[in-house]
Amino acid sequence: MNHSLKPWNTFGIQRNANQIVRAENAKQLLDAWKTAADSHQPVLILGEGSNVLFLDDFAGTVILNRIMGIDIEESMDSWHLHVGAGENWHNLVQYSLEKGMPGLENLALIPGCVGSSPIQNIGAYGIELKHVCEYVDCIELATGKALRLTAEQCRFGYRDSIFKHEYQDRYAIVSVGLRLAKQWLPVLTYGDLTRLDPQNVSAREIFDSVCHMRMTKLPDPKVSGNAGSFFKNPVISSENAQALLAAWPGVPHYPQTDGSIKLAAGWLIDQCQLKGASKGGAAVHFQQALVLINQHDATSDDVVQLAHHVRQCVGEKFNVWLEPEVRFIGRSGEVNAVETIA
């Protein structure tokens, strides 16, 4: 139990694993999984560790998915990218823009690997992965059988997919297929992007604006360990939203296609005057309330206690109960994050 996981989680939490294996192709990944399974050890497949909190030492093998490669095919109306799961997401966004293929610019500077993007259905500034995903290639760990899921089969939801449910722990993502339409339409619905001119804006300008917003609001994990947005933006019914807006007319709210209303978790936390609040070495970031940081040698217990405090404050004030976006990893695998901080 002496393999440190500190370099492999952006929170910078000190935990250990029995074994850490780097897999550069599907065979290496399968072999590592089989070796662990044969000795009845739990297995965790990890990208860049940008969305996990290790609650404990991991009593098994952590496999770092480093399957690389980007292939591009062109059709009449689209570019089709086939991207290895181990590629860095932001590097892919930059690469696609440099190649004159816009469509990912709103998703700039989201930390992590491409293979993690379908699990969370990553999203930012009005775009989600599901808008550009064509398919996800996986392997069934027990059999080694290859499987291609269409975007529809992935059952993408808000920070959700089939990979958080039936396919969790049974399949490993090896590559992701993206479709970028040549008929590019800018998405300018959030933040500073609303000030840009839709008639003349370029994808590069959107990219630069998104990078500026993220860099000024969000802490650099290399300086202050963090896992990005700690909580999901809550989605509530229109009835509950009406009651909330009656009491708090200034609540930022975003109607969804199904009639529900999405709220800004950061705003709710901010209204509770929680910026800078701390438990042990963990703190709410002083600029972006949605981010919990490792301020000085935080333990996972510090982070859990702080997350509980934030959830309670928001729940008592607004009757809205926040859920973590970050995945919580226990001794033998993922555990229920809501139950952990409740």
Annotated catalytic residues are 159, 229, 325
* Residue 141 backbone dihedrals phi, psi, to 5 degrees: -65, -40
End-to-end Cα separation, the chain, in angstroms: 29
| Cα pseudo-dihedral 33, 39, 40, 42, rounded to 10 | -40
* Nearest in space to 21 (alpha carbons), one of 5, 6, 10, 40: 5
Show the CA angle centred on residue 209, arms to residues 76 and 103, nearest 5°: 15
**Contact residues for 241 (Cβ-Cβ < 8 A; gap 6+):** 253, 261, 263
Structure tokens at 291: 């981010």
Q: Please state, in angstroms and as integers, the Cα–Cα distance from residue 273 to each residue in 246, 269, 287, 315, following that order.
A: 21, 7, 12, 14
**List of residues 6+ apart from 234 with CB closer than 8 A:** 262, 263, 265, 268, 320, 321, 322, 323
Phi and psi torsions of 300, nearest 5°? -65, -30
Burial group, residue 223, by CB count within 10 angstroms (0-12, 13-18, 19+): exposed
Nearest-10 Cα torsion for 184, 213, 112, 60: -150
b (16+ CB within 10 A) / e for 232-257: bbbbbeeebbeebeeeeeebebeeee
DSSP state of 326: S
Contact 12, 294 (CB under 8 A): yes
